[in-house]
Structure 1
Amino acid sequence: MMDSCMFKFFIWGSCILFYLACFSWGFDPADQYYINCGSSTSVTIGSQVFLGDKLASKYLSSPDNILGTTSSNSIPQSDESGLYKNARIFTKESKYTFPISRKGRVWIRLYLSPFVYDSYNPNSAAFSVSIPNHMLLSNFKASEAVRKEFLVNVTSGSLVITLSPSENSFAFLNALEVVSAPDILISDDAQSVNPAVKFNGLLTQALETVARVNMGGPTVTSKNDTLGRTWVPDTKFLLEQNLAESVSKINSVRYPPGGATDDIAPKTVYGTATKMKSEDNPNSNFNVTWVFPVDPGFRYVVRFHFCDIVSDAPSKIYFNVFLDSSNVLPDLDLTTRNLNFLATAIYMDFVTSSISSSKLRVSIGPSPVNDAYPDAILNGLEIMKMNNSLGNLGGMATLPSSSGSGSKSKVGVIVGVIIGVAIILLIVGLLFYIRRKRRLEQLHHSKTWVPISQNASYTMGSKDSHKTTASAGSDIGFRCPFAAVQEATNNFDESWVIGVGGFGKVYKGEFSDGTKVAVKRGNSKSQQGFTEFRTEIEMLSQFRHRHLVSLIGYCDEKSEMILIYEYMENGTLKSHLYGSGLPSLGWKERLEICIGSARGLHYLHTGYAKAVIHRDVKSANILLDETFLAKVADFGLSKTGPEIDQTHVSTAVKGSFGYLDPEYFRRQQLTEKSDVYSFGVVLFEVLCARPVIDPSLPREMVNLAEWAMKWQKRGQLDQIIDPSLEGKIKPDSLRKFAETAEKCLADYGVDRPSMGDVLWNLEYALQLQEAVLHNDPEENSTNIISDLSPQVNNFSHIDSTTSARQHEMSVTDDDLSDVSMSKVFSQLIKSEGR
């Protein structure tokens, strides 16, 4: 054992000596330009001298010579404040040209701050900044002092930076840096996220620094970083600061041979960390999470910096690292990656898929592998935006021409190409429309039986059914003969009916090979039914997701409208909450069902070119398979979302009373946030286990959403929860769940979260619950909810078997047949149409 340790130490020591011999002088930039724009004098920042405009004039080509003075109130108090005192103003396109002696990676840093000079109002400044093949800033407007940092790849002997004022505006610049970066800083490959494959080609990408964070430590300024970078503390990005704590052991950090160096990150970054605040609780089970603002529509390079400065022996902690919901580093053991040496610097790069949200979440949490003590650490983090397919970091703006004389001809070429592409797309679209129309006509009129697709599966649902189907993978994905459907349902035996809705009845069935199915048979006299039948096949056959119910067959023979699904063993979520006599669901089960449903809706909203809005989200349309996996069903009322240049879809109001978005009802303007509102009602329904509309209750309790929101605003929501959950919910979990539901029910859609944000908050509520109730979800906790109010116990006498038509009245003619118009009218005028 001693010989093994001595040999390992010898190898390590030899590598370090070689490493120090090669890198003892650090990185020396071959090219470095520092300019103090708008000033006639130079200024020294740290060890760098920023040349005044006169000395740097040889690099600038501009028709203007306008210098401005920055407002003293806007100058940031930092080591670099001297760079923001002056500004050069550009009213026309201007260029900085720098000779480059060493091709490769180059830093570009732009210092930008509002200023005061004659008639030039900084609020009216709007401009773009570009280099050959890349747009760095597009229509940029500065409201406060910022430093924009870019890392670009220069392949020629010069670098041209072009500033282009927007129409009737101007550009400005306070200071500028162009400095060579070391080759080792960014390698050509990284690990891609979703799908988890190798990403190649980073060297050709332009990158913009979005965040550079020193976890658990103070600000690291440019003068303390070998490459002039600034690292900020992580406290303002932490979502729950009470779940994290800081550690610092800067002197213990060591750099491995051939790995991380001072240029990758300084010891002041690797020597501090943010870790889980486990508080000596071996059952701790939560994530530490940071949230960073990002621009949607781009991919991001995320670099994690790790250094195990908390363990006293190798392989003591195992943890998971998440980018949004993706576990990018499962069961991470830092010491196995460094010959079992502690406090050794390591970094890892990941490339995200295109981000659809304006937030990027990074989380660390414990892994149960090897019964390790629950802990997780992160020392540093860098997030860099990657240029899009057009080479742009600042949007979709057109790159400026390289020469003024040829600009008109190049614009003509660009316009010609755009027009040509538009014509081609128009022709392709027309042909696609004609082909699709013909296929639909065949669908409605054909009497022959041919497969839809030999390998396709289709998402579908059942309206107000208690049991239906899910999961792809069936080999029945075809147009099914009516005789086979008759046989499977015992000739549509009424005793086999498992659900009824506006579209028709749903039957349990079984094919001759033993496959259990649910068969939804449409009412041939219902125009609404025909619309739903067409919508489900035409629109939603393109989707496939684990949490969306899947169509496996259909029948349109003999004027029938029949949809066939796999059988969903545990029926609807609604039937497990009230009215059916089924065993009550535990809190953890309910949270997992809500999370699964949110995933399905999030996919509908974001998984295709245009969002699909469900329009009838309710507990009766959330179905459970044999493992209680939740799947969203019934897409008969679904509608594609607004075009990219629109905010909403104007359409007639459809949905179910009690779940209906009041803003949608008032304005008849549909958005994804209408689904979010309905889902918020479902969340309160899950928590309180009662109908969303119950006319048999006292007036103030009839509408669940209104009633629950009153208790939530009082801070007493725990007084009206399902009695079966008494003593089963951790207060923090209830608080997070209730806050999420409350935000979903905001009066205006713009104030509601996206389904992605709802999903994340529900997952966090589950983590908070599991942190205490780690074992059986039915176990009592010492952190219990207080006794319920007596009025809640009165729910035991409520007749919850009343039909769905009375409590969840769909806004269609068919669904109002069993409801008195006085009741309908009372719901329409109450609380803005809910």
Structure 2
Amino acid sequence: MNFSTSLVSISFLLLSFCFNVPAFAAGNSTSNSTHILLSCGTSETSIDDVNNLTWIGDSTTKYISQTASQISSIPNQNPSVPEVPYSNARIFTSNYTYTFPLSPGLYFLRLYFYPTNYSNLFASDSYMTVTVGPYTLLSNFSAWITVTALDYDYLFREFSINITSTTLNLTFAPSTKHPNAFAFINGIEIVSSPDIFSISTDYYGDGTNKVFSYDQGMAFQTMYRLNVGGQSLSPSEDSGNMYRSWENDQNYIFGAAFGVANQKDPNVTIEYPPNMPQYIAPFDVYETARSMGPEPKINLQYNLSWILNVDAGFKYLVRLHFCEIKYPMTKINQRVFFIYINNQTAQNQFDVILYSGGICIPIYRDYVILTSGSGQMEMWVALHPDLSTRTQYFDAILNGLEVFKMSTVENLAGLHY
């Protein structure tokens, strides 16, 4: 989900980071099994997608509103665009609400957009605001501008919402700021989620343990979910029945210093620690990694870096996944490194073996950061060898990277994107 927009110069403050979270019950599944897949603008009752997931037409459900809307099929669909759920759309020229009866709890909400000319409407006129209950998810959002900037044909947006009532009301509203504006949606997905965001303890670099105040009413937008050093993972390859997509990280690596992609040694097995549920990330994420490479002199001359464009003015939860997967990395102080976020030290002397307990044992770290200003900005995540402990290898490693925007005053909407 890269954003090809101009850089906005913004100050960036590192707030805190925390050790892997013990606040979950172990396991590999969610507490309930809600999974709604709506193909919008069609009355078909069963449509299978490329991941062998079955969608239903929203016209066959009780989720739709009695408010007027249009439906449209796409006769000349770009062959690069999957048919499901992008071959039909529901279009709104006035406010329109879907109502989903749900049990209270956490849910991933995914919205699917294919901006093209529908009937007598032009894609460039589509500007919309999308809300769920009190949360503004998108404001004055143009899917057309977004895909043009990204050089994509279609896109989806993923949000995590805590539902405290028995219904989720999802409202699409054409923007009042643009003449001839309309809203549309091609697909809606709602899936149960365990609490993957609760944070029990922060660990500061000065050794002071403090509690990060996590608001259960907070909403999140998934900005990036990267399988570092590995292939993209489809929803059917995810863990925990959450059907998340994991993207390959290569498009986000800074410069030509790609490091080295690694796969786990064949004679070792990933073993999740007792306090870490498997739904945090699938085995595939921890079975591959990216390191700096075998040449110590070269490694000392650069940072292994990823650049991620985000909306300024929000807090972000940055989650880094680690797992040593190759021999001879089995002992403490063999590979120790710095973790930087936006040129500030998030942690020094980070040793995966020290904190995980051994080879092929995954851990993850959460970092909460604050951005200021407005518009788009670049978030940097970088690793560099730390030689202060006389480490054996001058190297660093990362297996997975996630970035979540955190709501402020019930708002997640950035500028267009």
Deviation of 1:126 (Å): 0.7
Matching residue within 376, 380, 390 for 1:361: 380
Residue ranges of structure 1 left out of the alignment (5+ in a row): 1-20, 398-834
Match of 1:320 in 2: 338
Write the distance in 2 (CA, Å) between the matches of 1:111 and 1:36: 9
Alpha-carbon shift at residue 202 of structure 1 (Å): 4.5
**Alignment counterpart, residue 207 of structure 1, candidates 214, 220, 224:** 220
Structure 2 residue matching 1:59: 3-state secondary structure: coil
Do the aligned partners of 1:250 and 1:270 also contact (CA within 8 Å) in 2?
no
The 5 Å alignment of 1:190-339 reads 191=202, 198-226=211-239, 227-249=242-264, 252-279=268-295, 281=297, 284-312=300-328, 313-315=330-332, 316-339=334-357
Paired residue type of 1:234: D
Contact 2:312 2:377 in 1 (8 A): yes
Give the partner amino acid of 1:137: L
Once the two structures are TM-superposed, the CA of residue 209 in structure 1 deviates from its matched residue by: 0.7
Contact 1:190 1:200 in 2 (8 A): no
Aligned pair partner of 1:31 in 12, 34, 39: 34
Structure 1 position 314, deviation (Å): 1.4
Q: Distance in 2 between matches of 1:294 and 1:194?
A: 25
- The equivalent of 1:386 in structure 2 is 406
Quote the Cα distance in structure 1 between the aligned partners of 2:183 and 2:203: 37
Mapping for residues 153-172 of structure 1, pairs under 5 Å: 153-167=162-176, 168-172=180-184
1:137: how far off?
A: 0.5
Give the letter for the 2:278 counterpart. D
**Are 1:86 and 2:102 an aligned pair?**
no
**Residue matched to 2:137:** 136
Please give the alpha-carbon distance, in whole angstroms, between the structure 1 residues aligned to 2:309 and 2:126. 24
| Residue of 175, 181, 185 corresponding to 2:193 | 181
Q: Which residue does the alignment assign to 1:634?
A: none
Give the Cα separation in 2 of the matches to 1:34 and 1:177.
5
Name the amino acid aligned to 1:121: F
Check the 8 A contact 2:228/2:400 in 1, yes or no: yes
Give distance in 2, aligned partners of 1:34 and 1:260. 29
Secondary structure, aligned partner of 2:370:
coil
Q: 1:294 to 1:193 in 2, by over 3 A?
A: farther
Q: Using the TM superposition, give the Cα deviation of residue 194 of structure 1 relative to its aligned residue in structure 2, in angstroms.
A: 11
Cα pair 2:300 2:384 within 8 Å, conserved: no
Tell me, yes or no, if the aligned pair for 2:311 and 2:415 is still in contact at 8 Å: no
Residue in structure 1 matched with residue 8 of structure 2 by the alignment: none
Q: After superposition, what is the alpha-carbon deviation per residue over 1:534-567, rounded to whole angstroms, capped at 9, x for unaligned?
A: xxxxxxxxxxxxxxxxxxxxxxxxxxxxxxxxxx
Tell me the alpha carbon deviations over residues 75-119 of structure 1, each in whole angstroms, 9 at most, x when there is no partner. Answer: 645xx5421111110111111111112x22110000011133321
Letter in 2 for 1:295: D
Letter in 1 for 2:282: P
Q: Secondary structure at the match of 1:26?
A: coil
Q: Which one has a bigger Cα radius of gyration?
A: 1
CA contact (8 A) 1:83 1:175 kept: yes
Alignment length, in residue pairs?
369
Q: Percent identity?
A: 31
Q: Does 1:151 align with 2:164?
A: no
Distance 1:325 1:157, change over 3 A: same
Contact preservation (8 Å) 1:193, 1:352: no
Give the residue type in structure 2 aligned to 1:336: L
SS in 2 for 1:156: coil
Q: Which one of 361, 368, 371 corresponds to residue 351 of structure 1?
A: 368
Q: Distance in 2 between matches of 1:126 and 1:371?
A: 56
Once the two structures are TM-superposed, the CA of residue 256 in structure 1 deviates from its matched residue by: 2.8
The change in CA–CA distance for 1:314 and 1:288 in structure 2 (over 3 A counts) is: same
User: Which residue identity is paired with 2:55?
Assistant: F
The structure with more helix, counted as a fraction of residues = 1
Residue type at the aligned position of 1:244: G
Q: Compute the displacement of 1:355 (Å).
A: 4.3
Looking at structure 2, the residues matched to 105 and 282 of structure 1 have their Cα atoms a distance apart, in angstroms, of 45
Contact 2:270 2:287 in 1 (8 A): no
Q: Deviations over 1:713-742 (max 9, x none)?
A: xxxxxxxxxxxxxxxxxxxxxxxxxxxxxx
TM-score norm. by structure 2 comes to 0.82
Deviations 1:596-645 (A, max 9, x none): xxxxxxxxxxxxxxxxxxxxxxxxxxxxxxxxxxxxxxxxxxxxxxxxxx
**Structure 1 position 253, deviation (Å):** 4.4
Q: Distance in 2 between matches of 1:283 and 1:175?
A: 45
8 Å CA contact 2:257–2:304 kept in 1: the answer is: no
Tell me which amino acid in the other structure corresponds to 1:272. T
CA distance in 2 between counterparts of 1:255 and 1:36 reads 38
What does residue 65 of structure 2 align with?
Answer: 61
| Gap change, CA 1:51 and 1:249, over 3 Å in 2 | same
Amino acid in the other structure paired with 1:317:
R
| Contact 2:26–2:275 (8 Å) recurs in 1 | no
Residue equivalent to 1:493: none
Equivalent pair of 2:309/2:379 in contact (CA under 8 Å): yes
Deviation per residue, 1:778-810 (Å, 9 max, x gap): xxxxxxxxxxxxxxxxxxxxxxxxxxxxxxxxx
- Secondary structure, in 3 states, of the residue corresponding to 2:138? strand
Is the contact made by 2:273 and 2:362 (CA closer than 8 Å) also made in structure 1? no
22 and 300 in structure 1: CA distance in 2 versus 1, 3 angstrom threshold: closer
Contact 2:270 2:361 in 1 (8 A): yes
The 3-state SS of whatever aligns with 1:268 is: helix
The DSSP-based 3-state class of the residue aligned with 1:384 is strand
User: 1:337 and 1:122, CA in 2 relative to 1: closer, same or farther beyond 3 A?
Assistant: same
Structure 2 distance, partners of 1:94, 1:136, is 15
AA matched with 2:157: K
Deviations 1:392-435, CA, capped at 9 Å, x for gaps: 111499xxxxxxxxxxxxxxxxxxxxxxxxxxxxxxxxxxxxxx
Asked if the contact 1:192/1:350 (under 8 Å) is kept, the reply is: no
CA distance in 2, matches of 1:105, 1:199: 20
Specify every segment of 5 or more residues in structure 2 that has no aligned partner in the other structure, as ranges. 1-24, 148-153
Aligned-residue RMSD, C-alpha: 2.6
- Secondary structure, aligned partner of 2:412: coil
Counterpart position of 2:55:
50
1:584 aligned residue: none
Deviations 1:696-721 (A, max 9, x none): xxxxxxxxxxxxxxxxxxxxxxxxxx
Task: Please tell me whether the aligned partners of residues 190 and 349 of structure 1 are also in contact (alpha carbons under 8 angstroms).
Answer: no
Q: CA deviation at 1:346?
A: 0.7
Distance 1:81 1:294 in 2: 29
Secondary structure of the 1:123 match is helix
CA distance in 2, matches of 1:289, 1:117: 41
* Letter in structure 1 aligned against 2:256: Q
Q: Cα distance, 1:262 vs. partner?
A: 3.0
5 Å matches for 1:763-778? Answer: none
Once residues 117 and 104 of structure 1 are traced to their aligned partners in structure 2, the CA distance between those partners, rounded to angstroms, is 36
1:200 match: secondary structure: coil
| Cα deviation, residue 51, structure 1 | 0.8
SS at match of 1:391: coil
2:216 is paired with a residue whose SS is: helix
For the residues of structure 2 that align with 1:232 and 1:193, how far apart are their CA atoms? 30
Do the aligned partners of residues 62 and 293 (structure 1) sit closer, same or farther apart at CA in structure 2, a change above 3 Å counting?
farther
